[in-house]
C-alpha cells in the first residue's frame, strides 16, 4: 500500500528539502519504490535530485493546470534512485491561478487527482512543500496520508509549529479527514547547544510518541551534496548526515510496519 507523505514546515531553512531528498534516497536504499514531488516554486528538490533546469520540459505547473499528466511530467531514475515530479518558478503562476476566481471548485484537490494515475507505481510518495501555508501546501495535505514535520530546535520553533498544526486540523475537518501527523524530526541538531537540548525536551514533552528518535545533525556533507545534484548517500555514504537519514528511513519503515500490524490486530 502506497504511503503519501507531505514534508512541511512554513518556516524556511529548517532542512525540509534536505529531508525530502535524502529520505527519498534512503528509502530507495531500503528497496522501496519512491516518487518525490517538488511543490516548492524554488525548485530546490528538483536541482538537488540532479535534474538541470535546462532539462525540464514540463513541471508541476502543467500538472496542476491539467495541461499534462503525472506520467508525462515525471523523470525516472534520478541520481538518488527515485522518480521526480519537478518544479521551477512557473509553479508560482499555478499558485496565483488556483487562488483566482476562475479556478473553480476542487482547486485543493488538483495534486491528489494528478497523483492518482501513478500512485500504485510506488511504495512511498514524498511531497516537498513550500515554506508557506498556501494553496500549494493545501494541495499537498489533501493528497497526503500523513505529514512529516522537520523542525530546528531553536527559539521560534514551537511558535511556528502551532500555525502548521492548525492548518493540518482545518484540512482534516474539511477535505481530508484521514490526514494524520507522521511525526516531528529534529534537524540541524547540535547536542552541544543548550538551547537545542531545551527545545528538543519541550518537543518530547508536548508531542509524546510523535518525535522521531533519529536526530539529523549539522553536517558539512549534507550542505555540499545538493550543489552536486546528489543525495548525501551518493555524495558521501559514510558521513554523519548519510548515516542519520538511513536511520530516519529505518525508523519510518518500522513505524509504518507497526502501525499496519496494529491496524490488522484491531480489524
What separation, in Å, do the N-terminal and C-terminal C-alpha atoms of the chain show? 17
Residue 265 phi, psi dihedral angles, 5° rounding: -70, -35
Give the model's pLDDT for residue 113. 96
In which element (H, E) is residue 100 found? none
In the predicted structure, residue 215 carries a pLDDT above the cut 90 = yes
Rounded Cα distance, 41 and 39, in Å: 6
180-189, strands of its sheet edge to edge: 83-85, 34-38, 124-128, 3-7, 146-152, 180-189, 211-217
- Looking at the chain, the number of H-run helices and the number of E-run strands are 12, 7
- Write out pLDDT tens, residues 241-263: 999 999 999 999 999 988 777 77
pTM of this structure: 0.94
C-beta of residue 119 within 8 angstroms of C-beta of residue 4 = yes
| Cβ neighbours around 222 below 10 Å, total | 27
Domains and CATH numbers, the chain: 3-266 (3.40.50.300)
**What's the grid cell of residue 78?**
534520478
pLDDT tens, 101-152? 666 678 999 999 999 999 999 999 999 999 988 999 999 999 999 999 999 8
pLDDT the model gives residue 178? 95
Amino acid at each position: 500500500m502506497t504511503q503519501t507523505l507531505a514534508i512541511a514546515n512554513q518556516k524556511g531553512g529548517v532542512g525540509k528539502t534536505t529531508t525530502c531528498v535524502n529520505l527519498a534516497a534512503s528509502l530507495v536504499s531500503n528497496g522501496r519504490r519512491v516518487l518525490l514531488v517538488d511543490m516548492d516554486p524554488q525548485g530546490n528538490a528538483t536541482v538537488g535530485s540532479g535534474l538541470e533546469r535546462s532539462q525540464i520540459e514540463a513541471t508541476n505547473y502543467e500538472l496542476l493546470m491539467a495541461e499534462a499528466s503525472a506520467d508525462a511530467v515525471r523523470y525516472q531514475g534520478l541520481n538518488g534512485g527515485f522518480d521526480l515530479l519537478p518544479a521551477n518558478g512557473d509553479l508560482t503562476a499555478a499558485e496565483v491561478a488556483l487562488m483566482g476566481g476562475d479556478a473553480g471548485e476542487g482547486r485543493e484537490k488538483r495534486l491528489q487527482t494528478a497523483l492518482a494515475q501513478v500512485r500504485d507505481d510506488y511504495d512511498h510518495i514524498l511531497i516537498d512543500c513550500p515554506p508557506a501555508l498556501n494553496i500549494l501546501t493545501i494541495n499537498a495535505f489533501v493528497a497526503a496520508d500523513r505529514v512529516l514535520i522537520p523542525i530546528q530546535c531553536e527559539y521560534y520553533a514551537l511558535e511556528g509549529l502551532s500555525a502548521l498544526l492548525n492548518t493540518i486540523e482545518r484540512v482534516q475537518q474539511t477535505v481530508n479527514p484521514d490526514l494524520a501527523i507522521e511525526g516531528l524530526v529534529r534537524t540541524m541538531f547540535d547536542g552541544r547547544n543548550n538551547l537545542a537540548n531545551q527545545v528538543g525536551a519541550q518537543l518530547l514533552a508536548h508531542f509524546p510518541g510523535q518525535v522521531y528518535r533519529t536526530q539529523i545533525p549539522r553536517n558539512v556533507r549534507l550542505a555540499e551534496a545538493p550543489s552536486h545534484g546528489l543525495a548525501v548517500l551518493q555524495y558521501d555514504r559514510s558521513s554523519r548526515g548519510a548515516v542519520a537519514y538511513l536511520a530516519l528511513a529505518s525508523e519510518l519503515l518500522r513505524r509504518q510496519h507497526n502501525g499496519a500490524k496494529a491496524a490488522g490486530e484491531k480489524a
